[in-house]
Amino acid sequence: MKRKLFAAVLCASMVAGTLVVPTAVHAEESKGLIGVAMPTQDLQRWNQDGENMKKELEEKGYEVDLQYAGNDVATQVSQIENMIANGDQLLVIASIEGDSLGTVLAQAKENDIPVIAYDRLIMNTDAVSYYATFDNYLVGKTQGEYIVDALDLENTDGPYNIEFVTGDPGDNNVNFFFGGAMDVLQPYIDEGKLVVPSGQMTKDEVATANWATETAQARFENILSSYYADGTNLDAVLASNDSTALGVANALAANYTGEYPIITGQDCDIANMPNIIDGKQAMSVFKDTRTLASKVVEMVDAIMTGGEAPVNDTETYDNGTGAIPSYLCEPVAVTVDNYKELLIDSGYYTEDQFE
Ligand code: BGC
């Protein structure tokens, strides 16, 4: 279905002191209205994801209805209801809680509106056509492997002390981030080379509601005062992303005087880059949101024009109704040694953003 998009082009010019406003209104064919539902503007990445997609979709001739839900599930549900009511023809959704969109997406399905799950898989609904994300398991595995190498666990006995800080338990990605990391680290825990002084290792114990920095910080302050106040050394913290890594670093700055631990992260948030450069966060995982946005725009265009959407994985991501055809982009580890090449030379950031 084609929609007419009327864009008023206002070309005002001054002619001999008179403001001349031509009434030129130029009509363009729109290729369709796309709803883009993002979880929150609190975190840098979702702003970039939303803006990148909007820009690229518009360049391809689509109209875009971009909404952010302030991390509130009810708001996201009502935004999606409105998108359906407004005639949006395809929905791209980064969910807040993977399990909470079944009812509203049943309406999308009734209206033949395809749904692409963006970054986070939407669970237990057969309304999801495609999933586009970074390889979440590989993100966790990369973080785990970084810790193994940095502590040289293959060649030393330790024992080394480690703690875990993951993200929102309603975000399906957490299972893959934590799962990927634990597949690498668990054997060393079993061998006794890694020890967890807090004993906190279950998904719920290590979760951080809404991925909030303050929540991670509060939990980590408790861990430090309960298990490290006697001078016990902390060697490593598996933090699943940068907002939680920042909470850990804040807690350490105020409550810990031992040797500084290795801290992992994810996203290469601007807020974390000074810590990476100063050695207060050992690594982050770079997920170039430009790549993901472009891939999703390719998917959207293929679906809207009757072409074939790109996928490279049809097995890994089962949302409870079957495996969802997925496109997985590749995450890359970033440290102080390669951030210039990966983040600055690639034009993702400029160095002055880290000051
Ligand atoms: C994303 C991460 C992000 C986290 C918090 C996850 O679903 O994959 O990139 O750090 O949500 O927003």
Question: How many alpha carbons lie under 13 Å from residue 347 in its C-beta half-sphere?
Answer: 2
Question: Mean of the pLDDT values across residues 116-120?
Answer: 98
What burial letters (b/e) apply to 19-46, b meaning 16+ CB within 10 Å?
eeeeeeeeeeebbbbbbbbbbbeebbbb
d(CA 57, CA 294): 9
Query: What band does 355 get if pLDDT is binned at 50, 70 and 90?
Result: confident
Whether 23 has a pLDDT exceeding 80, the answer reads no
Q: What are phi and psi of 290, to 5 degrees?
A: -65, -40
Whether 20 has a pLDDT exceeding 80, the answer reads no
Measured in Å, residue 197 CA sits from the centre of ligand 1 at 27
- 44-53's contacts with Cβ under 8 Å and 24+ in sequence apart are 44/267, 44/269, 44/270, 44/271, 45/267, 45/269, 45/287, 45/289, 46/94, 48/289, 49/94, 49/118, 49/119, 49/289, 49/292, 49/293, 52/289, 52/290, 52/293, 52/294, 53/92, 53/293, 53/296, 53/297
Whether 14 has a pLDDT exceeding 90, the answer reads no
Decide: 43 in ligand 1 pocket, CB within 6 A. yes
Distances (CA, A) of 219 to 160, 209, 246, 313: 21, 11, 12, 36
Q: Residue 136 CA: which ligand 1 atom is closest?
A: 8
pLDDT in tens, 326-353: 999 999 999 999 999 999 999 999 999 9
Computed over every residue of the chain, the mean pLDDT equals 92
Question: Mean of the pLDDT values across residues 227-256?
Answer: 97
Task: Return the pLDDT at 29.
Answer: 80
Measured in Å, residue 288 CA sits from the centre of ligand 1 at 13
Query: What band does 28 get if pLDDT is binned at 50, 70 and 90?
Result: low
Whether 226 has a pLDDT exceeding 90, the answer reads yes
- Judge whether 252 and 278 are in contact, CB under 8 Å: no
Q: Tell me which residue of 27, 50, 62, 55 sits closest to 303, measured CA to CA.
A: 62
CA trace torsion 284, 290, 296, 300 (10° rounding): 170
User: For the CA atoms of the chain, what is the radius of gyration?
Assistant: 23
- What is the percentage of the chain residues whose pLDDT exceeds 70? 92
Task: Return the pLDDT at 3.
Answer: 46
Query: What band does 214 get if pLDDT is binned at 50, 70 and 90?
Result: very high
Decide: 267 in ligand 1 pocket, CB within 6 A. yes
Whether 167 has a pLDDT exceeding 60, the answer reads yes
Measured in Å, residue 241 CA sits from the centre of ligand 1 at 7
- Give the list of residues 6+ apart from residue 9 with CB closer than 8 angstroms, or none: 24, 25, 26
Decide: 173 in ligand 1 pocket, CB within 6 A. yes
pLDDT in tens, 37-70: 999 999 999 999 999 999 999 999 999 999 999 9
Residue bearing the CA closest to ligand 1, atom 5: 211
Residue 152 backbone class (left: φ over 0; alpha: ψ -120 to 50; beta: rest): left
Question: Mean of the pLDDT values across residues 209-232?
Answer: 97
* Tally of helices (H runs) and strands (E runs) in the chain: 11, 16
Whether 9 has a pLDDT exceeding 90, the answer reads no
Decide: 119 in ligand 1 pocket, CB within 6 A. yes
Decide: 141 in ligand 1 pocket, CB within 6 A. no
Residue with structure tokens 């518009």? 58
What is the value of pTM for the model shown?
0.90
